[in-house]
């Protein structure tokens, strides 16, 4: 269930809004992407074929919705990234983030709380 960057943009809209028409998606994505209606149609068709998106049709209107669970997609993407970039080493990821000052004090504290919960 690998999603491209474009697919992430569309599915995030659908996760946020539950279901959307093509025109609603076009308006929502226009400011972020500048994509045309035809580009979104092409992406949606690909996502339907991959089983990422489904739709219900009411008359001529299709209501698109995410067909995959957000948590599962995020976990799979995180695992893939971690394996590809850090060889599965979570400690190396966190160390690199900390050393590059990408984590705020609040984020570091939140990370400590998460680790200490178990």
Answer for the pair 8, 49: CB distance below 8 angstroms, yes or no: no
Answer for the pair 44, 67: CB distance below 8 angstroms, yes or no: no
Residue 40's contacts (CB-CB under 8 Å, 6 or more residues apart) are 10, 22, 25, 26, 29
Top-level class of domain 70-117:
mainly alpha
Write down the residue that tokens 């900390």 correspond to: 98
What are the residue boundaries of the structural domains of the chain, listed by start? 5-66, 70-117
One fold for 5-66 and 70-117? no
Fold of the domain spanning 5-66:
Arc Repressor Mutant, subunit A (1.10.10)
CA dist 103 and 94 (Å) reads 9
Compute mean pLDDT per 10 residues along the chain, 118 residues long, and list them. 92 96 95 94 97 96 97 94 94 86 86 85
Q: How many CB atoms lie within 10 A of CB 11?
A: 22
Helix (H) or strand (E) holding 61: strand 61-66
For the chain, state the CA radius of gyration: 18
């Amino acid at each position: 269930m690998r999603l491209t960057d474009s697919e992430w943009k569309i599915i995030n809209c659908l996760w946020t809004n539950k279901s959307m028409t093509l025109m609603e998606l076009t308006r929502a994505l226009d400011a972020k992407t500048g994509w045309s209606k035809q580009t979104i149609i092409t992406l949606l068709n690909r996502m339907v074929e991959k089983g990422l998106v489904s739709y219900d049709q009411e008359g001529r209107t299709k209501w698109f919705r995410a067909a995959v669970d957000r948590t599962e997609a995020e976990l799979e993407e995180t695992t893939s990234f971690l394996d590809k970039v850090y060889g599965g080493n979570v400690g190396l990821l966190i160390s690199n983030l900390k050393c590059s000052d990408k984590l705020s004090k609040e984020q570091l504290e939140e990370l400590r709380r998460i680790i200490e919960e178990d």
